[in-house]
Chains A and B, each alone.
Chain A
């Protein structure tokens, strides 16, 4: 209760940051975190098989995956979002399926666009890491008589994940920042809340600096989390003292 009283005192006389507008920011934070977290999670799950396929020697497997990553990494996310948001109606018969009530809202088209985008970037990150597997590790696995699948599961992927960690951390931050465009398709994410507060009070500095600080805190949280992970998982690569 003491905190609540302190909070009221802090907000007392502040015309812009009322409990109501702070509530908008909070709801926006929830939408942003959900959007980013879920798309990253699905993107990660998609990226693993795609990266294995992309590193495959069979061109009929690797080429289509390369085409997918090339298109999604070569065009702005905003265009991808527009294509999915405006285009989803045009898939024949989609309005009769059970998916329609979901897809009609802006959240799911945005989620699909973000997922496909991050899956493309993550695929290329993992491919680079798989390609960089030391030859000796693969030879050792072969010498043990491991099958291709077992070698992938036990040797290549675990070491590739570790090598991909720093680049993947950047991708997570990139996705958080990219998610700001969700506000363009009427979603009330963090940036959407800031735009609403700006429009309502005509207070650009307060509205946007406040949201910038929230993003900054989120970015640093992700950064420290990945630093910690790297320290734990890449311990064997650190110079020994």
Chain B
């Protein structure tokens, strides 16, 4: 029953790929988001402009188009570099852009823009008196960030973060189009080969729902944790 014409194990493997891809992209997106938020709040005119350009461009273009641009274009740029290395120095070196790495980079890059907006709003919602209190205690800027700014910011950022993660999770399905063997690609291949689309596509849909429901539960726990001391929200 769970064998699914021999596609069962591959489908599970694909689910693993989807999950890894989603978590790694989330990590990258959070780092990029924090950087973008800092750049947007910085006094430097140039940093502000660059961050604004980044968030505007990314949010104005479909994920799939960006993904193809980075994946196909990235491969071509790499080829140019390796060809030049061969011509100049005789180094025979060929790099094939890995679809997984390309997927993590593009999804992380795309959602970094959304995270940047989320974090910026959340940082601005932090009461300034708290930061001044930290400074008055003689805390270093890093310590103020770690102990005061970040935990207080997360309280405001969590709903947006949770929303972004849900969208990100669904966006991972797009990497199947640029050739990564995630669970969507396995299911689509199996549907074409066996002419039984429902047998494969519905379990994959259920796995997405399961991950989404699980994340909702985790985010509810986190929300509670970050709201400690602020009463029920």
Contacts and interface: CB of A to CB of B under 8 A. Distances in A.
- Say whether A and B bind each other: yes
A208 B106 CA distance: 14
A215 B209 CA distance: 30
A226 B201 CA distance: 36
A229 to B, nearest CB: 19
Q: A-B pairs with the 4 shortest C-beta distances?
A: A76-B173, A86-B197, A204-B72, A180-B62
Given A191-B62, A204-B73, A204-B76, A184 B208 contact: no
A87 B200 CA distance: 11
B68 interface: yes
Contact of A191 (B59, B65, B198): B65
Interface residues on B, range: 35 or more
Interface residues of A, number: 37
Nearest to B216: A74
A191 B174 CA distance: 13
A83 B64 contact: no
A78 B63 CA distance: 13
A215 B208 contact: no
A79 B173 contact: yes
B153 to A, nearest CB: 23
Interface of A: 70-71, 74-80, 82-83, 86-87, 90, 176-181, 183-184, 191, 194-195, 198, 202, 204-205, 208-209, 211-212, 215-216, 219-220
Contacts of A202: 76
A75 B170 contact: yes
Contact of B64 (A80, A90, A191, A220): A191
B174 A78 contact: yes
Contact of A212 (B69, B170, B197): B69
A179 B61 CA distance: 11
A181 B64 contact: yes
B60 interface: yes
Contacts, number: 111
Contacts of A191: 62, 64-65, 68
A173 to B, nearest CB: 8
B207 to A, nearest CB: 9
Contact of B197 (A75, A77, A83): A83
B76 A74 contact: no
A87 B199 CA distance: 10
Interface in B190-217: 191-192, 197-198, 201-202, 204-205, 208-209, 212-213
A75 B205 contact: yes
B113 interface: no
Nearest to A217: B60
B233 to A, nearest CB: 17
